[in-house]
Structure 1
């Protein structure tokens, strides 16, 4: 198979395609480094939590280091999670137009090679985790159960996005575990709000594959909601903003944090108004825009933490 044919449909023209050594490209695609949006979406709740916890502690001294470690850990663990997902979904991926060119179904990487690469990435993630306190280490390890079961959920429930939300929002707990050595009300509310956000944006993402999913019997909230998707997004995005607002109240956050939340909410409203579920390319663009939405909130939380620490 040519390298051009091996590119996944929604991941062309990136640095992996143009600059990475030829031998490394299947592995970089396996870890989704050709599509880093997922790593950003895993990272952002970590950064939210770290900034909000630093504000609670009135101390930002360790925040830059914590953010850097979360950055490395998010990319490593998202790569490991995607590799595991591709191993378990290899037969399904071969039957879906958008995913049939992924490295395993395309025959570029064998399952044993993928398993070895999975271990390498997991070790890198563990190395990051070991830089934190014991409570944070145990909290991070606990997330692996959710990561392990997620790929199987689309076979048994219409709500696999909930399980993805549990996994991708785990960082909302980690910032408090690392900074304060505990998980309390603000962390739990932030976690719940992030889960609602993930359900919303992954429903948008799943609309790209809704037709293929129906043919092969894969379940998702995109198929469940169908034409009611925008109404469902109003509910889940509304919950996200409300629950994150509860977290800000419990954490005693100031007006800068609320400004960030207002910008985040405005972006979510824009997504709902713009969405057309029958346009896969638009669904992908709107899904990717959630990085910007999350960073708007983070900017407000970071500014608030700096102000409270000064």
Structure 2
């Protein structure tokens, strides 16, 4: 396969300069118990400490900062289950750009509240009845707004790639990088950064087993879809990889694996209890693959992206009480 040219390492490096001093340079945590359990040296890149509580702010700000003056004045629209919504809303607030968000009516309340708090207009829809991409495109056309999709956009991908770029700049050599996957923006961006700087680093994407469209797409080399998967990892309920992210994933990623809902819950509980960090279900997908033994790499240096921490605390209590009995 020829190398996709939609996003390059130079774009990721330019994005890092663009977000410097605006996005947080998030901490990298280590854990002796994790190292002992996996017989490896593990570095957790904690994007749950990012502005808006997830990696999405990187790509959102990078994309909005590059709009024309006219586009900034008119405003932008996106569709998101929550994290990209908050990211676009905050980036818009910082850049004085009006924002409109198409959001599923079952999105976590904490994400809806935060998005409104950043000044965005929210338009709710029913996942079962409405195609969000079509609704968003129609609204963007009607209102003459610039559509910034949550993952299938080169400036968004480049921004997300700064997550891995920072990790590598801080810890140096890695043998393996584990990244969660929904629509593939974070995975493809991080894979570009890792493979460009550390050609021998293996990059593996991780999905919920009941939302495995990207894994099937990767292994069949044909874009596969999934319809409204009922995974607790709400950020991974995307119907498919994108037209931009799919070829990037095929080119830069070494493998795709899946984890069960039970594994996601166990890993959330473990990270809350042992690392003392608030993480959301989607945020622990990469960690679950390692801690549950889906991926093993003895005596390796392993980077794990913790993608976010936007979770309803009351809901977490219910999940833990039911899922860990």
TM-score using structure 1 length: 0.29
- Structure ranking higher in strand proportion: 2
Bigger Rg, structure 1 or 2: 1
- Bigger proportion of residues as helix: 1
